[in-house]
């Protein structure tokens, strides 16, 4: 048992290192790595698909609190966070606030009504889409000339996007970087801003998953609600350490080849999760 626990802890530390590095490098918050890694780990330990996926998503949200703050802090020192989007003078126009509202609603109210199989399928399809975007996306593609800041856009779209990210256990980078680049935001500033907005997803979602997971039977040991404390601590430690290294790499290297390699990895990961979900 001690050997099994040691192997599990070592694996979680490794996952945290990769997740933290990817958070800084791509602004994706690490959830694309953490969720499937935890899902496979808890499934291998004999926990049900429903429990494994909910705990994986919730624990990922808790870890992203740390990785997003660390990544955003590093990007801020390089002048790569657009705080006028995150927290403008008028809070009602803040993408951060409305993203947080949607995140809390999704974790507290919507997620408990979704099965583990549904979450696996949604996650896999979404990750496959992100993988294709990383591979085939082009800088010249545009949607708007700037990120919308006025009217009903931040409340409606911020809430929807925040809720969607909370259901998948991912930070804002997977969606936010793509959207901001399509709105002509420079890639490095898009990554830094997405990292900052990831905090507004992860904190409310973590609270929601802790509350909605109370009194649920069959959870792994050391869990508070749906959040597994052992997974959080092990992954958060190395995620915190490796996030600045990802930021440094992002600012020093051309990302085109990295995007293609990462996209292929995400596609493979998505296909494997779909296969596993169909076999359960």
Query: What is the average per-residue pLDDT within 254-278?
Result: 71
The reported pLDDT for the residue numbered 200 is: 93
33 and 15 Cβ atoms separated by less than 8 Å = yes
Q: pLDDT grade, residue 36 (50/70/90)?
A: confident
Distance CA 87, CA 214 (A): 32
Residue 141: per-residue pLDDT: 65
**249 or 163: which leads in pLDDT:** 163
Tokens of 25: 């490098």
**Would you place residue 37 in the very low, low, confident or very high pLDDT band (cuts 50, 70, 90)?**
confident
pLDDT at 21 over 90: no
* DSSP structure class, residue 227: E
Q: CA of 187: how far to CAs of 27, 54, 155, in Å?
A: 10, 32, 24
d(Cα 257, Cα 52) in Å, to the nearest integer? Answer: 33
**Least confident range of 92-101, 112-121, 210-219:** 112-121
pLDDT recorded at residue 61: 93
Over the chain, what is the mean pLDDT?
82
Which of residues 207 and 254 earns the better pLDDT score?
207
103, pLDDT greater than 90: yes
């Amino acid at each position: 048992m001690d050997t099994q626990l040691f192997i599990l802890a070592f694996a979680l530390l490794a996952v945290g290192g990769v997740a933290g590095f990817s958070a800084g490098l791509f602004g994706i918050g690490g959830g694309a790595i953490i969720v499937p890694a935890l899902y496979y780990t808890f499934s291998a330990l004999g926990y049900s698909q429903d429990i494994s996926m909910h705990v994986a998503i919730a624990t990922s949200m808790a870890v992203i609190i740390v990785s997003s703050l660390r990544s955003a802090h590093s990007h801020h020192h390089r002048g790569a966070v657009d705080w006028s989007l995150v927290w403008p003078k008028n809070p009602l126009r803040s993408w951060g606030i409305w993203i947080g509202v949607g995140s809390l609603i999704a974790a507290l109210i919507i997620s408990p009504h979704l099965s583990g199989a549904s979450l696996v399928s949604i996650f896999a399809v979404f990750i496959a889409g992100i993988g294709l975007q990383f591979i085939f996306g082009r800088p010249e593609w545009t949607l708007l000339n700037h990120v919308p800041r006025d009217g009903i856009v931040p409340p409606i779209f911020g809430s929807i996007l925040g809720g969607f990210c909370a259901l998948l256990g991912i930070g804002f980078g997977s969606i936010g970087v793509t959207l901001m680049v399509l709105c002509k935001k420079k890639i490095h500033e898009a990554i830094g801003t997405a990292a900052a907005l990831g905090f507004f997803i992860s904190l409310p979602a973590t609270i929601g998953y802790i509350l909605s997971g109370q009194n649920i039977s069959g959870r792994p040991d050391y869990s508070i609600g749906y959040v597994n404390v052992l997974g959080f601590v092990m992954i958060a430690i190395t995620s915190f350490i490796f996030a600045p290294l990802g930021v440094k790499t992002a600012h020093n290297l051309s990302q085109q080849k990295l995007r293609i390699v990462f996209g292929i990895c995400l596609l493979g990961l998505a296909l494997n999760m779909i296969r596993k979900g169909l076999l359960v």
